[in-house]
Amino acid sequence: MSRYIAGTEHIPCVGTARAMPAVIAHRGAADDAPENTLAAFRLAWQQGVDGIEGDFHLTRDGEIVCIHDADTRRTAGRAGKVADATLAELRQLDVGCWKGEPWRGARIPTLGEVLATVPAGKRVFIEIKCGPEILPALIAALAGAGMQPGQAIVMSFDARVIGEAKRLLPQLKALWLTEFKAGPETGVRPTATEILQTLEKSGADGVGCRAHPAVDPPFMRTLRAARKEVHLWTVDDVPTAKRYLQLGADSLTSNRAGWLKQQLCSEPGAPGLPNQAPKRASGHTR
């Protein structure tokens, strides 16, 4: 089974014949630029990433905007619920200056504006942070952007959103997101089998989860046997990336995706040679 998302062209490392699994820019080039802004997405493309990931909410007036939190306080410095605001109100906020003066003036982008940055052959992972009410507008935005099949991937922690997305647009690639939790009695949950049950029920094409010790060879075998994809976040160092690439992850989402891809691609036997010093300690999990 291919490790890559069906319907998209895989972009190999520059200068090598060996293909690498996709490295995806988490909230854009989030280490270098204010997350979920056009500046962050454009910078990620310049850095050579295979795809971008962004977070999306529906505004009071039915527009889809790119922002992680349901509230604007953290990135705009002013509290307010995104769902209670209009696009025009949200556009007045500065979501760049918290990251530094060079970014002052950055605005909350719409989904359409984010899609317009996506080059041919590259991918956009659209994480829906609200409920299924966003889907009609989302499908319209995808159609308006002229996205090719497989270029846009929808993701949500809410299996209802995935189920409804697949019902409305069966050819749209959709991933269910989940977090692992460990209990003294239960061990790590959900298990691969439990994840698979949710994927089958919702019609999801795969799972998105944290790069976690629970993602091991038996976990991968269970998902692969059912022809489901496995996408992992957030991987910001080379040893962790190698570990999960060797396990056969379909993509790795990173806050420093351009750097990570460059490191992986620059290795003689990439992927997988254990001779690359990490520039940051493992375990970065934003």
Q: Judged by CB, which is closer to ligand G3P: 26, or 243?
A: 26
> Could you tell me which stretch among 121-129, 158-166, 191-199, 276-284 binds Ca ion (CB under 5 A)?
121-129
Residue type, 283: G
Q: Judged by CB, which is closer to ligand G3P: 70, or 225?
A: 70
> Side-chain half-sphere of 101: how many Cα atoms within 13 Å?
0
Interaction of residue 253 with ligand G3P, rule CB under 6 A: yes
Spatial separation of the C-alpha atoms in residues 147 and 141, rounded to whole Å = 9
Backbone angles phi, psi at 244, to 5 degrees: -85, -25
Closest distance of CB 23 from ligand G3P, Å: 13
- Residue recorded with tokens 């009609």: 136
Closest distance of CB 35 from ligand G3P, Å: 9
Give 26: exposed, middle or buried? Use CB within 10 Å, 0-12, 13-18, 19+: buried
Determine whether 68 is an active site residue.
Answer: yes
Q: Which helix (H) or strand (E) holds 84?
A: none
Spatial separation of the C-alpha atoms in residues 38 and 279, rounded to whole Å = 26
Interaction of residue 63 with ligand G3P, rule CB under 6 A: no
3-state secondary structure of 206: strand
Closest distance of CB 125 from ligand G3P, Å: 6
Spatial separation of the C-alpha atoms in residues 78 and 95, rounded to whole Å = 10
Interaction of residue 208 with ligand G3P, rule CB under 6 A: yes
Catalytic residue, chosen from 10, 26, 57, 212, is: 26
Out of 32, 55, 63, 229, which residue is the one contacting Ca ion (CB under 5 A)? 55
What is the pattern of x (binds ligand G3P, CB under 6 A) and - over residues 102-131? -------------------------x----
Is-contact 208 175, C-beta < 8 A?
yes
CA angle 16, 44, 95 (to 5 degrees): 170
Residue nearest to Ca ion (CB): 127
Interaction of residue 251 with ligand G3P, rule CB under 6 A: no
Catalytic residue, chosen from 10, 57, 68, 212, is: 68
- The verdict on whether omega for the bond into residue 12 sits within 30 degrees of 0, i.e. cis, is no
Determine whether 231 is an active site residue.
Answer: no
Q: Judged by CB, which is closer to ligand G3P: 38, or 177?
A: 177
Closest distance of CB 253 from ligand G3P, Å: 5
Q: 129-188: which residues touch ligand G3P (CB under 6 A)?
A: 177
Closest distance of CB 127 from Ca ion, Å: 4
Written as one string, the DSSP assignment of 214-251 is: T-SHHHHHHHHHTT-EEEEE---SHHHHHHHHHHT-SE
Out of 31, 63, 127, 229, which residue is the one contacting Ca ion (CB under 5 A)? 127
Give 275: exposed, middle or buried? Use CB within 10 Å, 0-12, 13-18, 19+: exposed
Is-contact 21 3, C-beta < 8 A?
yes
Out of 31, 32, 50, 53, which residue is the one contacting ligand G3P (CB under 6 A)? 53
Closest distance of CB 57 from Ca ion, Å: 12
Applying CB under 5 A, the residues found at the interface with Ca ion are 55, 127
Residues in contact with ligand G3P by the rule CB under 6 A:
26, 53, 55, 68, 127, 177, 208, 233, 253
Catalytic residues: 26, 68
